[in-house]
Structure 1
């Protein structure tokens, strides 16, 4: 019996193991009782021997497959619990049913071996950009063929609809790039998942276009995207002589433009990282100018004040600018005008004063001073953007 040809070449060891498993399964079907069988194929001649075996246990629960240690040691005193006792039995002859059973097991084992090879090969590439050729376009996903060095054919990957950019259309034969973000060993279904919409795609493209990132002179700290529309990426330098923002922009904007083109014209804001969360948020709100900012560390929120004329720009279309700044920083951001922020703080301070006078029965003037101090302490550290900029 010869194994059916497959599109992908498995290791000879895997093929022999599949054959042995298939022959063992076919042999078991010849017996009415449930037995354990092992088949051993001679790798050179192709001949095979069949063995019935019993597992050595302390207490037998399945007499057709188990044997006690005491009984096993009658034949071999070196045996221990967990070892096997084997007797050679007659090997199966290949009638129609035996051949069909063996073929089914072989196909299954070869498929399992192929999937295991895919996982082994691509696991180290997880998080990296891969290039594939579109094989099939479905309503919910795209199938890609990715070159596989260790196999005769190509590996198949999937880009789900949510991992594509809006308005992206591909046809069979198109070459596309994406980040391999998941390698799954499940027995069924897709194994390799590629994305073009996640922040990792933006990060990896900059890693390709900006050599200083690969050299670890510049570090990408965070990224946020509204795929196909706009993105923000935060960078810092480990060498004070190098401007990280300028390096990522490139000569005449060449580097950032290359990334933007790959992402369908996505506008990209390159933001300077700062260890001070408030200053980082001010940077992330660009191109809007922040007048002042108040941090509430307990609630992990920041109130951002801008001049009335800058409010629309600070919020962005459909809240895009502040939403991306929030994702980039990890803080909840509330944008308002300078007057609205002042009014909000006055209202909160007044509420604190009322609590002092109502529940603590203290003098109103003292409550006013104590309440305002308590309010300011609870609000955390406020940073005036204009003062911070002037002080640099």
Structure 2
């Protein structure tokens, strides 16, 4: 009995300490000792990503076999996106006449791929009422249509959203990142398979964008050196209610569940502004995870961004966080025994998110038992 009471007090003492500490860290986030890469990008302190690093990234990706997930018959929906890379060089380095490269080898032999830096394209979705992805930073792309291949889907969606023709000779499909299962936390139902492709722009000058304003608010090229730097990123969490009953009609019950379940916080970073636009581009979630997959293809020992993205989400109710990790490790251990050929690093995220619902149920039962014991003890 005493052990259980001590455990309950310990859990909520730590939980209170975590909340206070997080608030203090967030309050300190804007102080001078935090060095931001956005500031460094303006002053040129981040430097340029050498062509050799981009070359390593592209050739590693081309040779790598991605983790593929076939769509089940009851959920054929697939979302396909394109991470588009380019080499941004000074206009003085662009040759007046040059033969257009067709392969990676020919591209890196070009004289203009010597001075400048590599960049990756992000877009910000338009703000629309009722759209769960409204205002989010993402890679261009979208959902498949019937009888479409993944490559056909991404080419169509990118053309519709930003006016870029990935089928033209100006772009080369370098490779594919690992596919991901996107499931609902509410009922663990599979929503879609996410398929990320990586393309390389083969020409020194980018064609003008034609944004579909109903879908896309803005686009931005971001230096890859931003993600490879060892400088400390000025990051802040995005916090959302953990409640799995968001559409509950009874407001009092929904409010009670929000208090009991608390919130979940995800790491996010603000991408550096450009001379043309200083709109806030906040990177987090799936797109941050896919960006991490690109960054880890090169040396990540010094990358603060990579270290940041390996952190798990923070739960305001720490017991739910503990049980989530416990269930995740148990499932991973079991899969390691039963399925030796499975890439567990690819399964980790899916197992983690599917464990939250079970962790909530166990936490509620655990709290109820402790509460009953306390009441019994006080009588």
TM, length-normalised to structure 1: 0.21
The structure with the larger Rg is 1
Q: Which has the higher strand share?
A: 1
The structure, 1 or 2, with the larger RCO (C-alpha pairs under 8 Å, 6+ apart) is: 2
